[in-house]
């Protein structure tokens, strides 16, 4: 069974689209999920980041965001927390 938009039922899907933040293509930066090894620290929080991608549905324009590699990000965060 193929993926369908939850809003409109469309099967026209653009998957794994990078998400950028910025006012134009020249200043766009990738959107990242962030977690910190020591979130309460004033400095040197030890960030772990991972790219966020989107699935865009053609008929409704609805977009869902997903981590590029959720298991890898979870392992990175857990590893960073254990290293403290």
The tens digit of pLDDT for each residue in 9-22 reads 888 888 888 888 87
Q: Averaged over 39-47, what is the pLDDT?
A: 73
Q: How far apart are CA 73 and CA 51, in angstroms?
A: 9
Chain segment 58-75, per-residue pLDDT in tens: 778 888 888 888 888 888
In this structure, the strands spanning 20-21 and 29-30 are: antiparallel
Domain ranges of the chain: 13-82
In this structure, the strands spanning 29-30 and 47-57 are: unpaired
Match 């254990």 to its residue by tokens.
82
**C-alpha 84: how far from its chain's center?**
25
**C-alpha 76: how far from its chain's center?**
15
């Amino acid at each position: 069974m193929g993926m369908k938009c939850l809003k409109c039922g469309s099967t026209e899907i653009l998957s794994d689209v990078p998400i950028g933040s910025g006012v134009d293509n020249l200043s766009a930066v990738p959107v990242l999920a962030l977690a910190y090894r020591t979130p309460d620290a004033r400095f040197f929080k030890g960030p772990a980041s991972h790219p966020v991608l989107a699935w865009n549905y053609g008929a409704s324009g609805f977009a869902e965001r997903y981590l590029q590699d959720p298991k890898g990000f979870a392992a990175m965060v857990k590893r960073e927390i254990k290293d403290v």
